Structure 1
Amino acid sequence: MGVPKGRRRIAVAVAALLTLGAVAVIGYRVLAPAEVSTPARGELPPAATPKIGVVGRLPAAPLIVDGRLRVYATTRQVYADRPVDRRHRVTPFWSYRRWPAQVNGVLASGTTVVTHWSDGKVVALDGRTGRVAWRADGPEPGAGFTARRTGAATVWDPPGISVGQGPGGGSVLVVSGPGGLRGYGLVDGRELWRAGGGTDCRTGLGTTAAGRFVSVDACAGPATVEFRDVTTGAVGTRWRPPDAGAELVVTPLGCLTPRSQCRGLRTAAPGDAAGRGWLVGAGEPVPAPALDAAEAVLAGDLAVGVTDGVLSGRDARTGKLRWRRGDLGQVRVIAAEPGRVYALTGSRELITLDPVTSAERSRFPLTVGQDGTSWKPGLAHAVDGYVAVERLRGNARPGAGDQQWFLMTEPVVLAAT
């Protein structure tokens, strides 16, 4: 005897419901928000003392943390490898991943690695172990992972996150986005202040060496630069450059780390290659004409850049010439950090100079194996005597895909100076 039609229909319906339930469970497991933290299990390597020269070739842009580890970012993951002077990238030492949020910015301050995500979450990691130190809700950045495949723009120029020092010496993390500005204690993630909630007309830029946070406010009139106390968020100074138009592009200069503890600014109208340079301190910015050129970098009290084809150092405020190096040929400044300025020659030699005296600290070809010199520099980053540079194809043009943009699959070269 066959199964009655009524029972058959019930069995089919039950099977369909069970199948849908299984699909729903699988879909939830795959698509539900998730966090996967894989802390370090091995020993933390000792601080490296590599020989001067090229250290290695990497597919991704590294942040050097504690002189021991390299930290990288991808669309949904932040991870580290070791040791810092390993020639190639290796299996992660620790890893932190979230889903479906995307990494928007990463910075390192001491041994703390701060990550800001597309859903606004701020997660601080112990850079030595990868363990979560604290989590906090923050303003959404309005974007996800916006960098090219090396991740350089996310870790070397992180949008919307910076660290400043308060009057008492405590480190303050400032996070900005279309939803506003917020300040947190870097050690414990405690929220200290918030401002500008619900607006998308205030752009956070970074912190200054004088313990202030810089933002551009265009909410109720022409763009105006605001300087806030990093500890309280209170606005102490509102300023507009003389003869500035309604719109304003402001670039931090002379920062200790990307966007953090900066000592200068350059203001310009949208689309202008150059602008006006300024030194920032406790009051209003002070004119620094030697920083007007877009290629000039602020190193200590000096503006270092190429003028009439010659690398020179000038007093940033007065423009007075301090030194010239006409013996370097075609040269371009690619990075600077306290006590060091890095210049790249046309033959792809990396020259490290003392910014005060122009004395050479090191010089060597920035090449790896048979890679050659037919490349042009992209983004670059310098910290603790290390320099990392993206290598682009000689004919790379804005808008090109990564395959046509980067020189090869491992386009980042890391060097010790």
Structure 2
Amino acid sequence: MTRVLLRASAAVLLLLASALIGWRVLGPAERLDTSSAPYPPLVVSAPGVQGRIGVAPLIFNDRLRIYAAKHQLRADEPVYGRAVYTSRWSLRRWPQQLSGVVTSGTTVVSRWSDGLLVGQDGRTGKILWRTSGPDAPDYAGHRTGAAAVWSPPGLRIAAGSVVVTQGQDLFGYDVSTGAERWRATPPAGCVDGFTTAGGVYVCATGAYDATSGRPMANWPAGPFTALGCLVAGSNCAGFRDAAGHGWLAAAATPRRAAALDSPDATVAAGVVVSVVNGVVTGHDPDGAVRWTWPGEARVLGGSSSLVLLVRPDHHLITLEAATGRQTADVRLAFGKEDDLWKFGGYQIAEHYLAIERRRLDGPDDPESPIYYYTTDTVLLAGF
């Protein structure tokens, strides 16, 4: 009898232990690890490829790299590192999924599948605020996390506001406090728009002040093509309207710019740049030619003072926005890599560029093992 009782007791204890382990592993949980280390100084690397990694970094103020995973947000350093390093700070939530990330100043804002918005100090990872918002899409970053950090669905930034979309509803939250500033329900068709440098949220059916949610009067008719955007479809420098007319968007009221009418034109470093018949041309906003650069190239975008081009042979060319003078020519390859890849997502920071590379003849399926160029498919370059 004693032996039976001992066996029964052992079975009960084993069951309880298994339940406890299961709860610790699978039960709702959140873990935050912050950093007290000094904030790294700005280091401007010489033009060239710095490294290659397997995940897409959100380059934060040219000092840190922020990564998205299905249930985790984390940061490492240095920004020019050749590999992914031990996390400087991290936030993990289970079973919630990370939907997207945006940054403003020193604040990092993440949106989670349960609708929670979390504001963190990007330097330390310390949580500054939490706000309940509308439900968000699940993680869609695939292997690299690029979609979550470079083009987060329904998450934009402008004029000190985080603009969240859910269905036909718009919500505006204060970046510094998380407080809800406004909410609006635009006409049908206003989904996943962009924000302008002048602080306006723009979608196919209208435009709204990002600080108040009020509709903007006398706005051109959409749908629109965003031009010269920073990461996450935010702070775009210009756009084209439904008639193909170009506009500069540095102020709340857009300014007509005929030089942007060309389908090959965009805005980079404050200059209207077009590529026609093998010549890259920089224009003043009024259309006057400022400079030309001969050669086939694609305009990637710009920093505050440089225009970034990429040649068909995957050479990164940087030009002074004011004069068109070439300042760098960087082969976008790590070591002896070939150039048999095509652009996926990318981010241009002030001194660094990150590119997600996809296999040239690969399938159009991010889950395929041959979708990406290599295992370490994200290239990091300084300029």
- After TM superposition, the score normalised by the length of structure 1 is 0.80
Q: 1:346 to 1:39 in 2, by over 3 A?
A: same
SS in structure 1 of the partner of residue 336 of structure 2: coil
Counterpart-to-counterpart distance in 2, 1:46 and 1:301: 27
Could you tell me which residue of structure 2 aligns to residue 225 of structure 1? 206
Note if 1:412 corresponds to 2:378.
yes
Instruction: Give 1 or 2 for the bigger CA radius of gyration.
Output: 1
| Distance in 1, Cα, partners of 2:147 & 2:260 | 23
C-alpha separation in 2, matches of 1:85 and 1:201: 41
Are the structure 2 counterparts of residues 42 and 145 from structure 1 closer, same or farther at C-alpha, using a change threshold of 3 Å? Answer: same
1:45 paired to 2:25: no
Residues 88-110 of structure 1: CA deviation (Å, up to 9, x unaligned): 11111111111222222111212
* Closer/same/farther in 2, CA of residues 354 and 282 from structure 1, 3 Å limit: closer
Match in the other structure for 2:148: 154
Q: For the structure 1 residues 151 and 277, does the alpha-carbon distance in structure 2 shift closer, same or farther, using more than 3 Å as the test?
A: farther
Residue of structure 1 equivalent to 2:92: 97
Q: How much is the aligned-residue C-alpha RMSD, in angstroms?
A: 3.1
Matched, 1:163 2:131: no
CA distance in 2, matches of 1:367, 1:195: 46
Tell me the amino acid that sits aligned with residue 215 of structure 1: C
1:87-166 matches, within 5 Å, as: 87-141=82-136, 143-165=137-159
Distance 1:175 1:56 in 2: 34
Distance apart, 1:78 and its partner CA:
0.9
- Give the corresponding residue for 1:343: 309
Partner Cα separation in structure 1 for residue 173 and residue 27 of structure 2: 28
What are the Cα deviations for residues 62-95 of structure 1, in whole angstroms up to 9, with x where unaligned?
A: 1222332111111121111111121111111111
The structural deviation recorded for 1:158 is 2.4
Residues 227 and 237 of structure 1 are in contact (CA less than 8 Å); yes or no, is this contact kept in structure 2? no
Q: How many residues align?
A: 381
Any idea what SS the aligned residue of 2:212 has?
A: coil
Residue ranges of structure 1 left out of the alignment (5+ in a row): 166-170, 217-223, 270-274
Q: Within 2, Cα distance between the matches of 1:146 and 1:293? A: 33
Give yes or no for contact 1:39–1:95 (8 Å, CA) kept in 2.
Answer: yes
Deviation, 1:135, is 0.7
| 1:81 partnered with 2:76 | yes
Matches within 5 A, 1:15-414: 27-141=22-136, 143-165=137-159, 171-178=160-167, 180-196=169-185, 201-216=189-204, 224-228=205-209, 230-237=210-217, 239=219, 241=221, 248=223, 250-267=224-241, 276-280=245-249, 285=254, 287-292=256-261, 295-315=264-284, 318=287, 320-326=288-294, 328=295, 330-399=296-365, 401-414=367-380
Question: CA–CA distance in 1 between the matches of 2:371 and 2:300?
Answer: 18
What percent identity do the matched residue pairs reach?
39
* SS in structure 2 of the partner of residue 237 of structure 1: coil
TM-score by length of 2: 0.87
What SS class does the counterpart of residue 216 from structure 2 fall into?
strand
Residue 219 of structure 1 corresponds to none
Unaligned runs of 5+ in 2: none
- Per-residue deviation, 1:257: 4.5
